[in-house]
Each structure stands twice: as structure tokens, then as C-alpha cells.
Chains A and B, each alone.
Chain A
Amino acid sequence: MGDPGAFNSYYPTFLRYIGTAIVLGLLIYLTYQGLRKLGVKREAATGFALITPWLIGRILLTAFPILLSFYLGFTEYNILWDEPRSLKDPLFNYKRALSFKIVEFDKDERVSIAKLGQLEAEGPDIVRYRELDSVVIGDTRYVIAATDVYLWRAIWLTLRYAVLSIPLGMAGALAVALLLNQNVKGVGYWRTLYYLPAVLPAAAVALLWFWLFAPNRGLINWALGPIYDLTNSEPLGWFTDKNLVLPSFVIMSMWGIFGANTVILLAGLKNIPPDLYEAASIDGAGNWVKFRHVTIPMLSPTLFYVLIMGVIGALQLFTEQAFIPTEREDGWFVNWFLYNEAFNFGRMGYASAVGWLYAVFIIAITLLVFRSSAAWVFYEGAREKEAGGA
């Protein structure tokens, strides 16, 4: 307090902040007047004028960056440079990201980098193939080599994380929501309690779990102590162990995501009309049949929403990783990998190219989930429409 630096860094932004609001207000007003002059009806002119702040924001800060990013993907651009430089081979970034090959070695032969070779495309630097994995069949070792092994490891880690954490998180949240739906006393308090981890900032959750999982004297390894003693094994390394990075992240995600999804699913459960259960009971349905044929279909729109949010979230995990410094060798999540490529390793062009590929991939997966919804998501409104039409 009382430090002049603070004031100097706040007030220019504050002035521009107010200025932006005034400019956008004027934009609304001028759009309205302009449209009226062109003979547009009052209602239409007002409506369109009111959404112009959003429209201008999305053109300047979403559409334009996306196109710019596409262009940058075909250039070389170090963060220290003022401008991007053109590449001799415009597809160099894409080749660098995607090239892989299988090289045969004798079973006992050492895998030599020289034999793996290098990327033939002409670019700013020489990119060598590196070993990603290998399989031995008979006397031959087939080495799968890629030009960017870190990217493939990141994708592999992120995908496995999504495939594990989303269904586990959803099942767990559903179980808790079902429990809370059993006329439990003080539902409000339980709900608050279960929602707690979801309110905690991701950064705090990550730090906390990094500490709980500390290999040396963390609370979890202490709790597992008797098991280690019994099996005579070394304490697990969790986030520091190459093979346990993934499970550690999954366990952490379940703790955090549980709550929000539980609350959403609980609201969904409360929305199911009780007469459906009564009708099922009269027809002699047991608990399982009711769950399978009433609860799940009626809850499917909510489950669908939770799934979509889960997919989008898991594939873009970022903050948690920033607070849990795992080794690059052991696998970074794709989003963190791309951030580092662009801002720490000076490859903004490359990061843009891979970012584009990855974005297309995420959107494709999301659309796939949307497409699949027709098969398993049950919309009561849609059913009523059909019934009404018949």
C-alpha cells in the first residue's frame, strides 16, 4: 500500500477499461441509428445493436486470431522476433509434428540415433527421429520412431487421462447423487460438503494433492505405510514416478470434479417425475429395473451435458499441470506442452500448427459425442412432439 508503482499500473488500464465501455456503448447507439436510417424496423435495429459488443469481440478476438493462428502454422516464429519468417517448406511444422516411421533393428542391436535418421523436410533446424517405443518380434526389434516424441507422449497421456477420469468421475458423481436422493436428512448440508472440492480453485487443489502425494512423508504414503510394510515394498513415487503420473492425476481429478457433477446430477434426479417410479412399481419393476429404465433415460440429458463438459475439460487440462511440475520425459498434458513450445522454447509457429491440429481433434471428438447422443440421450420434449404429431 502507498506504493506509487501500484497506482501507475492500475490507472491507465482503468481509463482504457472505461474508454472501452464508452466506445462499445457508442457502437450500440450508432448501429441502432444507422440501421434505422437504412429503414430497419425499430425492434430489429435495437436487437442487433445490442449484440454488437459481442459480435465485434468475437470478430477481433476469436475469428481473427483463429485465422492468424492458421497462417502462423506455416511459418517459423520465435517469441523474440518481431515478425514471423517464412519456411522453405511451408508444411515443415506439420511434418515435424506428425512424422513417424518404423525402423528394424536386430534384437540385440543398440538403437542408434544415426540409423533412425532425420526429417527430410527443409526447415530452420535439423529434426532427428527419436525412439517412441519398440516391439520385439522374433529376432527383430521394430522401433517406432517419431520426430516429436514429446508431442506423442503428451497426446497419449491426455487421452488416457480423459478415458479414465471422465467415466470414473461420472460414475462416482452419479453414485453420490443417488445416495443424496434417498431422502437423506439434511440434504442441503451434505450437498454443500460434497460440493466443497469443486469450489476450491484448481490451483489450490493441485498444490494440495501435490503435497498429499509427496513421496517422502506425504499423507497418502503415510496412510499406505502398513501396506508397504506388509508387502515389503518401497513407498510409491506418485507424481514423480513415470508410471504413476497418470493415476495420480486421475485420483486428483476425481476428488475435484465429483462435487460439481454431483450437484448437477442431483438436480437432474429431482426433476424426474415420481409418478414414473410409481408406474414402474405397479408394473412390478425392482430397483435395478427402475434405475436402468427410468432413472438412466430420464437423466440422460444431464449425463450428456456432464460428459461434454468432461471431454472439453479433460482434453484441455492446464492449470493443475502448472502447479504439479512433472518431468517432460514422463509426459506433459497437450495444453501444457503447447504452451511451453510457444512461450518457452520459442516455437510459436510450430505451436500454432499443432494447436490447430489439436483443436480440430477436440472439436471432432466433441461432435462425435454429440452425434452419439441421438442413440442414448432421451429428450422428453422430443417424445412429446412425436406423440403430438401422430
Chain B
Amino acid sequence: MATETSAQVLPYDEMARRHRIETILTRAIIYALLLIGAAIILIPFLWMVSTSLKVERQLFEWPPRWIPDPVAFENYWNAWEQLGSIAPGLTFWRIIGNTLFITVLAMFGEMFSAAVVAYGFARFRFKGRDVLFFIMLSTMMIPGVLTRVPSFLIWREVGLLNTYDPLTLPAWTAWGPAYVFLLRQFFLTIPREMDEAAIIDGANPVQIFFYVMLPLVKPAFLAIGVLAFQGNWNNFEGPLIYLNTTQLFPLILSIQFFQQSLSKEAPKWHYMMAMATMMAAPILLLFFMAQRYFIEGLNVGAVKG
């Protein structure tokens, strides 16, 4: 009806058609952009894996070779063999042992102490609590440069340099304020009646903590577990400062040592990429298994804070 009076107004199905084309076009652009992003992320990543499986002469082939031929799985072993040749006693298994020892101990201490401290901050009223909690959050802002030298001197003074103590013992003191914050947020959501019911049933605070509170915050507890594992696995500065016997080196420090001593002049990229892949593999595996917890941990600070 209206079409006769105005040339600008299009018939209904023509408008719908245009709208549909527009939508399809927009979606096409969105997916195209997403694919470009995916390529930017995946190409370097695949290049790392590809390089790690090459024999030395194929490293610098021009144009670059994507599929190694032969596939040199032995790089993953030979890299450590070669490192062992200049760092006696630093074998593949030793490195794995060192890394896991540090990571697991520090992770467990961090998780457990963060839960205890967060429980104290969240479920009990006491004088100065809010001030102390504010101080705890502020410690996140203290730059590491401030404590690096004196911490080194303190551990030297007590004769524990070149042991794993500085990397694991302090974990018991809830050294990650972010973890305490995250768990506290979860403890706060638990209704008070829970504690009261448990107290009436004759439970003491220790029992309440283990049998009522921890099971209720399990997702958050596992989230900080995942983050703590990642954090300690990737911790470079600590081992760099406190350890100087090569036998004690964890993975990350071994890789840096390899790069500094064996790969400085003529970089052995295939070995270094094999090492980088091994450094990344457990974290990637953990990520795929426990993605929910990664994302949960990442978001809590931002959205709830």
C-alpha cells in the first residue's frame, strides 16, 4: 500500500532480503577476523612444535619446512643429554624430579595456607580484621625488586641458600594475596547457619573447616590449586637467585642455563624448542583438563573485585 506513495520505502521482503544479506556479511566478517586471530595464535605455536621435531640440517631450510622429515623425537631426549655433558648429574629425570618437588610442595603449602587464612578473614569477626585485610591486598602492589636482595641475604644468613627451602617453606605463609582474596570471596557466600548447625552438632573450628567449609569452596580451592601449580612451575626468579648448583636446577632454570652456555653462539633451535614444548606441555594439559578452574581463577579478581 505504502509503496505507491514513497519510492524510498521498499517492499517488505526486499527489506528482509537486504537485512539478511547484511547479517550474513557481518557474520562473515566476524568469522574471518576470528580466523585471522586463530592463525596468529596457532602459527607460532605450531612452529615451535615443528621445530622441536627437526634434525639440525632442516632448521634453516629456505623456504621453511613445516613437516619435519624425519621426525626427530630424539631431540626431546638428546637436548638433556647434551645439557648433562656440561652440567654433570643434571639428567632428564633429575630435572623432572627437581621441578615437581618444588612445584608440588609450594603449590600444596600455598593452597592450604591460603584456605586457612581466608577462612579466618571470612568467617570470624575480630578487631583490626578489615585493616589487616586491606594490608594484605596492598602487598600485591609491592614490587619484587624491593625484597629480592634482602631475601637472598636472609636465606644466606640462615645457611639455606642452594636448597629448595626458600622456594617451598614460605608457601605455608599464604604468600599469594590473590588466592586468599579469591577464597575469602567464596567463604563469604556460605550462609552463617552452616557454621551454627555444625557447632550445635558439636564440631570444633578445625572440623568445621575440613568437613563443612573446604568441601563447599571446592571449585575455588581447585582453581587456586591450578593457578598455584602454574605459578610455581613458571617461577624463574626464585630458582635463579637461590640455586647455584646445576644439579638442583628445575626445568625453567635448566633451559636458561642451556641457552646461556651451549646455545649462545650457535643457537640449537631444535633443542630449545623441544625444551620449550616440554615446559609448556604439562601446563597445556592441565589447562585442557581443568579449563573451568583456570577461567574461574582468572575472572574472580576482575569481576568480583
- Interface on A for B, CB 8 Å cutoff? 1, 3, 5-6, 9-10, 12-14, 16-17, 20-21, 24, 28, 43-51, 53-58, 61-62, 64-66, 68-69, 72, 176, 179-180, 182, 184, 190-197, 199-204, 207-209, 211-212, 214, 216-217, 219, 222, 255, 259-260, 263-264, 267-268, 271, 301-302, 305-306, 312, 315-316, 318-319, 322-323, 325, 334-335, 338-339, 342-343, 348, 351-352, 355-356, 358-359, 362-363, 366
Contact = CB atoms under 8 A, between A and B. Distances in A.
Contacts of A260: 298
B145 A53 contact: no
Contacts of A199: 230, 280, 283-284, 287, 294
Interface in B119-141: 119-121, 123-127, 129, 132, 135-136, 139-141
Given A13-B164, A184-B34, A208 B47 contact: yes
B191 to A, nearest CB: 17
B303 interface: yes
Contacts of B60: 216-217
Contact of B276 (A207, A339, A358): A207
A69 B145 CA distance: 10
Contacts of A9: 163-164, 247-248
A48 B120 contact: yes
A339 B294 CA distance: 31
B41 A194 contact: yes
A335 B279 CA distance: 23
A57 B174 contact: yes
Given A48-B126, A305-B302, A355-B148, A17 B169 contact: yes
Contact of A13 (B42, B145, B168, B305): B168
Given A6-B97, A68-B150, A204-B276, 16 more contacts: A17-B105, A54-B117, A61-B175, A62-B142, A69-B149, A72-B149, A179-B30, A193-B38, A197-B45, A211-B51, A264-B302, A305-B302, A316-B144, A316-B145, A335-B144, A362-B143
A216 to B, nearest CB: 8
A338 B298 contact: no
Majority-rule SS of A interface residues: helix
Contacts of B276: 203-204, 207-208
B125 A44 contact: yes
A342 B103 CA distance: 26
Interface residues on B, range: 35 or more
Contacts of B153: 68, 72, 348
A50 B209 CA distance: 11
A273 to B, nearest CB: 14
A27 to B, nearest CB: 10
A72 B237 CA distance: 21
A207 B264 CA distance: 12
B278 to A, nearest CB: 9
Given A50-B120, A58-B139, A212 B302 contact: no
Contacts of B215: none
Contacts of B172: 17, 20-21, 24, 53, 57
Interface stretch (B11-19, B70-78, B251-259): B251-259
Contacts of B175: 57, 61
B9 to A, nearest CB: 19
Contact of A203 (B48, B234, B291, B301): B234
B63 interface: yes
B142 A359 contact: yes
B202 interface: no
A1 B3 CA distance: 86
B295 interface: yes
B200 interface: no
Given A17-B109, A316-B145, A204 B302 contact: no
B173 interface: yes
A51 B117 CA distance: 5
B211 interface: no
B33 A57 contact: no
Contacts of B252: 201, 203
A319 to B, nearest CB: 4
Q: Closest 5 A-B residue pairs measured CB to CB?
A: A57-B173, A47-B124, A50-B120, A44-B126, A65-B150
A264 B144 CA distance: 25
Nearest to B235: A319
B62 A352 contact: no
Contacts of A217: 59-60, 62, 64
Contact of B48 (A14, A46, A51, A204): A204
Contacts of B299: 263-264, 267
Contact of B30 (A20, A43, A44, A184): A184
A298 B34 CA distance: 24
7 contacts: A6-B97, A9-B248, A48-B120, A69-B147, A208-B48, A219-B47, A355-B145
Contact of A201 (B33, B43, B234, B248): B234
B89 A3 contact: yes
A51 B120 contact: yes
A136 B34 CA distance: 49
A194 B294 CA distance: 14
Contacts of A356: 146
A265 to B, nearest CB: 8
Nearest to B47: A219
Contacts of B302: 264, 267-268, 301-302, 305-306
B148 A211 contact: no
Interface string B193-234: 000000000000100000000000000000000000010011
Contact of A322 (B93, B240, B288): B240
